[in-house]
Amino acid sequence: MTTTVEGFEHVVKLQTFGNIDKNLTEKLLAILAECYRRLGPPMTFSVNLNIYETSSGQGFFASHDALEGKPTINIYLDRISSLPPNVAEAGVRRQAAHSILHGSPEYYKIKFPSGLRQAMRSYGLPENLATEILYGAAMAVKEHAVTRFLVEGGYLEDQLAYAKYMLAPTAEELQAWELTKNNPTARIIYLVMTIRDISCAVPLLKKPDVSDEIRQYLEKRLSHLPDQYKAIIQKIVDETIQKFSDDTFKNIDNLVEAIVENIIHKELEPSKYETETMR
């Protein structure tokens, strides 16, 4: 399919897979083009856009990476079609923002911070588990940055809708907690991915008109967790995520350090933690 938006023929390189509706493709291209006009071009001044009729497995309705040296946005129509229109549009804008902010390989090939390497040695954490922790932390940092960037660019309303969508508890998440709550390493991953999922909403806590509403949604999102885990996540939000700077890699290091200190140590060395808290 050959579909372009005037003025962006050399910016967005489109590929489609499957039976793709041309009108929907044009709408998606228009959303991206409007974003780039308002916010600036992708990091490499060009982005690959892959639109798929169907997805395989589970995951988000859209994704971004730059592992091959250039921003690449993937959109899955079978997933995006089930979303409220404002949430879908907000999600597409988020991919545009990722291509502007995180459109080079360095944002996706991140080295293990020293604290996580030490935790791997101390507790025998396998590399695949540590990679999942690092991936979740890096995603949290980038999702936070995207919300802040888009809100500053004038997209408050749709990013509020997106955040509320992400904060709505699902039956799958509640079931996942029931399956993981008795396994320390599984709990670690669950809590890290919870931090990943709520991080997009944190910049909105600094917006007076919506902060109370977002705080209520955050409380509801965490309501199924025991009090000690709610407190841990709230501490990480307040003391680490809300203090993020403009340095993505420093933010990742700081968040991983907070995860190691507040989650990994307490989950894998509980007797020491319990002794310390009793003093």
Domain count, the chain: 2
> Which residue type occupies 87?
V
Residue 274 shares a structural domain with residue 160: yes
Contact 26, 57 (CB under 8 A): no
Q: What is the pLDDT of residue 269?
A: 83
User: Residue 66 domain-assigned?
Assistant: yes
User: Residue 157 domain-assigned?
Assistant: yes
User: Residue 5 domain-assigned?
Assistant: no
The tokens for 37 are 């006009």
Residue 132 shares a structural domain with residue 39: no
Closest CA to 235 of 201, 262, 197: 262
* Domain end among 104, 133, 151: 104
| Helical packing angle, 85-101 and 127-152, nearest 10° | 100
Residue 90 shares a structural domain with residue 163: no
User: Residue 2 domain-assigned?
Assistant: no
Compute mean pLDDT per 10 residues along the chain, 279 residues long, and list them: 56 92 92 95 92 83 91 94 94 97 94 95 95 98 98 97 95 94 96 98 97 97 97 98 97 98 92 39
State the residue range of the domain holding 59.
Answer: 12-104
* Domain end among 56, 85, 104: 104
User: Residue 126 domain-assigned?
Assistant: yes
Residue 167 shares a structural domain with residue 230: yes
Q: What is the pLDDT of residue 84?
A: 94
User: Residue 6 domain-assigned?
Assistant: no
Q: What is the pLDDT of residue 7?
A: 56
Cα–Cα dist 136/189, whole Å: 8
Q: What is the pLDDT of residue 44?
A: 86
| Helical packing angle, 248-259 and 114-123, nearest 10° | 30
Closest CA to 211 of 269, 163, 154: 163
Residue 208 shares a structural domain with residue 248: yes
Q: State the CATH number of the domain containing residue 60.
A: 3.30.2010
Residue 133 shares a structural domain with residue 152: yes
Residue 83 shares a structural domain with residue 141: no
Q: Under DSSP, is residue 183 helix (H, G, I), strand (E, B) or coil?
A: coil
Residue 121 shares a structural domain with residue 81: no
Residue 62 shares a structural domain with residue 146: no
User: Residue 7 domain-assigned?
Assistant: no
* Domain end among 104, 129, 144: 104
User: Residue 251 domain-assigned?
Assistant: yes
Q: Under DSSP, is residue 191 helix (H, G, I), strand (E, B) or coil?
A: helix
Residue 34 shares a structural domain with residue 152: no
Residue 95 shares a structural domain with residue 221: no
Q: Under DSSP, is residue 75 helix (H, G, I), strand (E, B) or coil?
A: strand
Residue 16 shares a structural domain with residue 138: no
